[in-house]
């Protein structure tokens, strides 16, 4: 049986995933700001490094997998921009960077990051903020987003999820990850009925926005359904799954982007690859 780290294990999808893994007999190290094996605040650098170290300590240097589900929704108030970016982006990337050697030690570890279908369905997320996160510059990302005033926290939420998905896809294919047997993949859920969504539904204005959003299959997803996907993506079925972002959103992404995806790789990138291949084959 394996050893798995699960962040956000006290509530919602993280909790459902931790319960499922435990029921299957695995050793789960839950990380959350309350009611967890490792209690830590992932919004601060110190909280993240303490959490990463405490998990490695308990795991004894070997992790068979991880689920990164801790996250903060688009809380209102410009003061929350930094919090959202810190938990949703650095709370994933810094932990995974710290855990990489332990994941590599397992030889065929699997990681599931919980992104969101906001990655593709939220309009106007400034690319500058996404780039700042990918550069590791929290202050620049916060400054950029605060210019958007009342929309700042929604855009911070969408931006944090776009950045984490791009970080994942960039890293998933690299020798340090793919070559070390670690499979990095993401889930992009739509509206899932967890305490995070319940808080949004409790505010009439937000509830109207959530309920008006097109979901072709109707209704909300359940944390248990998403946990089933996570467990599947942690299984051997994911040996050949690498850098994928799997949308489980009742069809919203397909509704908006039916003809926008798949799109082919830009020709200049294929040409560059062809040249490298040609030069390599002539050596």
Residues carrying an active site annotation: 157
In contact, 7 and 47? CB cutoff 8 Å: no
Count of positions (residues) in the chain: 283
In the complex with ligand NAI, which residue's Cβ is closer, 43 or 144? 43
Query: HSE-up of 4 (CA within 13 Å, CB side)?
Result: 33
Tell me which DSSP letter residue 86 carries. Answer: I
CA dist list (Å): 267 to 60, 275, 276: 46, 12, 14
Q: How far is the CB of 223 from ligand NAI (least distance, A)?
A: 6
Ranges assigned E (strand) in the chain: 3-7, 27-32, 38-39, 65-68, 110-114, 183-189, 245-248
Q: How far is the CB of 106 from ligand NAI (least distance, A)?
A: 24
In the complex with ligand NAI, which residue's Cβ is closer, 88 or 171? 88
Q: How far is the CB of 218 from ligand NAI (least distance, A)?
A: 15
Residues that bind ligand NAI (CB under 6 A): 8, 10-14, 32-33, 41-43, 69-72, 87-88, 114, 116, 189, 191-192, 194-197
In the complex with ligand NAI, which residue's Cβ is closer, 88 or 120? 88
State both tokens at 126: 């400034």
In the complex with ligand NAI, which residue's Cβ is closer, 117 or 144? 117
Q: How far is the CB of 51 from ligand NAI (least distance, A)?
A: 8
Pairing, β 38-39 against β 65-68: unpaired
| Phi-psi sector, 77: left (phi>0), alpha (psi -120 to 50), beta | left
């Amino acid at each position: 049986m394996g050893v798995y780290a699960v962040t956000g294990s006290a509530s919602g999808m993280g909790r459902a995933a931790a319960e499922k893994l435990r029921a299957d007999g695995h050793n789960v190290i839950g990380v959350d700001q309350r009611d967890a094996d490792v209690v830590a605040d992932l919004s601060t650098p110190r909280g993240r490094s303490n959490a990463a170290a405490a998990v490695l300590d308990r795991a004894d240097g070997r992790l068979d997998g991880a689920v990164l589900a801790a996250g903060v929704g688009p809380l209102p108030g410009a003061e929350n921009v930094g919090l959202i970016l810190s938990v949703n982006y650095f709370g994933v990337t810094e932990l995974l960077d710290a855990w990489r050697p332990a994941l590599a030690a397992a030889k065929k570890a699997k990681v599931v990051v919980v992104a969101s279908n906001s990655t593709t369905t939220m309009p106007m997320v400034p690319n500058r903020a996404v780039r700042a996160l990918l550069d590791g510059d929290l202050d620049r990302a916060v400054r950029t987003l605060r210019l958007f005033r009342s929309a700042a926290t929604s855009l911070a939420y969408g931006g944090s999820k776009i950045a984490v998905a791009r970080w994942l896809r960039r890293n998933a294919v690299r020798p340090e990850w793919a070559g070390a047997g670690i499979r990095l993949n993401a889930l992009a859920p739509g509206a899932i009925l967890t305490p995070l969504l319940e808080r949004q539904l409790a505010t009439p204005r937000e509830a109207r926005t959530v309920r008006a959003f097109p979901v072709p299959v109707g209704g909300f997803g359940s944390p248990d359904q998403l946990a089933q996907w996570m467990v599947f993506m942690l299984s051997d079925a994911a040996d050949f799954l690498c850098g994928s972002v799997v949308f489980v959103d009742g069809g919203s992404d397909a509704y908006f982007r039916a003809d926008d995806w798949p799109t082919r790789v830009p020709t200049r990138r294929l040409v560059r690859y062809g040249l490298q291949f040609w030069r390599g084959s002539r050596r």
